[in-house]
Amino acid sequence: MTRDNRAMLLVPIGSGAGHVLLVLGVLTWLGYPFKSFATTAIYQFSFLLVGLFLVAFVPVLLFTRGRLVVPLGMSIVGLSIALIAGLTPPYPEFATLGENVLVVGPSDMAAYANGWYIWLLAYLLGGIVEYAVRMTVDSIPNPQQFSSWHVQIDRRRSVLIGCLIGFAQTVVIITLGISHEGALLSGWLLGWGLLGMVLLGMIPTLFLLRYQMISPFVGLITIILVIGVGSLTMVGGTPASSYLLFWPVYFVLMLLLAIGEYALRWGHHTMTKYRRTA
């Protein structure tokens, strides 16, 4: 490994470690007991530490290796929102009920820490959007100029990437549902939702990678973030279960976004061609 490669790796590692210390430091300053953002099991707390590390490590790595700005920007905005919300009064209060610790009041920083897998998925999807756009738009610097990482996107790989995104979304949504709405997730709902999560991950990916349509993929990212924030911050709501149940509605929304973007592009192309002819 060359000196430049080591430097490119040290910056993301330092960012990940600093993110872990910052988040845990803020949680401690706010008075969160250990049990409020991780159980007493060491492996679960280690899992949380790894997640908080990756949330900062991955966007910075994508920036240093390929100059992908979107994941880094999303991570900075996400952390800033969590810090502003968490450090702005009123602060959370804590009560003990047997062996359980109850959080009374806003718990934005705890929600940010516990939802690390949601933010990580959204950041990765944002990076895919930027990568696909920069590979097809000549006026934007190509990621190949900054890194040897390159993936030739053909039909087969587009389907494979779509399946991987659908699987990742399935894991995230089901994990979110089990954590916050466990009693509502029956076997049939998980089976029904599994099909929908895969389709909702695959179709926007194919639109993006094969036809350069951005809106369905951006819509997918927005839905994941909205569902995640709703599940982590709402008391008594069922965003994850509703998403698993009513996924055909979101599927139709993806198709409408694709049709709308196609219509706008067709209209722009027609007007441009008409003006040139005139």
Of 229, 209, 202, 220, which Cα lies nearest the Cα of 257? 220
Distance CA 245, CA 238 (A): 11
**Among 150, 171, 189, residue at a domain's last position:** 150
Instruction: Retrieve residue 130's tokens.
Output: 């930027």
**Does residue 272 have a pLDDT over 70?**
yes
**45 and 131 belong to one structural domain:** yes
**Does residue 257 have a pLDDT over 90?**
yes
Query: E strands, the chain, where?
Result: 93-97, 100-104
Per-residue model confidence (pLDDT) at position 104? 72
**245 and 172 belong to one structural domain:** yes
**Among 119, 150, 181, residue at a domain's last position:** 150
**Count of C-beta atoms within a 10 Å radius of residue 34:** 12
**Does residue 236 have a pLDDT over 90?**
no
- Axis-axis angle for helices 247-277, 215-233 (nearest 10): 150
Q: Is 199 exposed, middle or buried (0-12, 13-18, 19+ CB in 10 A)?
A: middle
**Among 111, 135, 150, residue at a domain's last position:** 150
Domain interval for residue 179:
156-278
Q: Could you give the number of structural domains in the chain?
A: 2
Q: pTM for the full model?
A: 0.89
Distance CA 71, CA 14 (A): 17
**143 and 160 belong to one structural domain:** no
pLDDT in tens, 106-161: 788 989 999 999 999 999 999 999 988 888 776 666 665 555 556 667 778 888 99
Rg from Cα positions in the chain = 21
Q: Taking residues 249-262, what's their average pLDDT?
A: 94
**132 and 183 belong to one structural domain:** no
pLDDT in tens, 16-26: 999 999 999 99
**CA-CA-CA-CA torsion for 246, 242, 193, 201, nearest 10 degrees?**
80
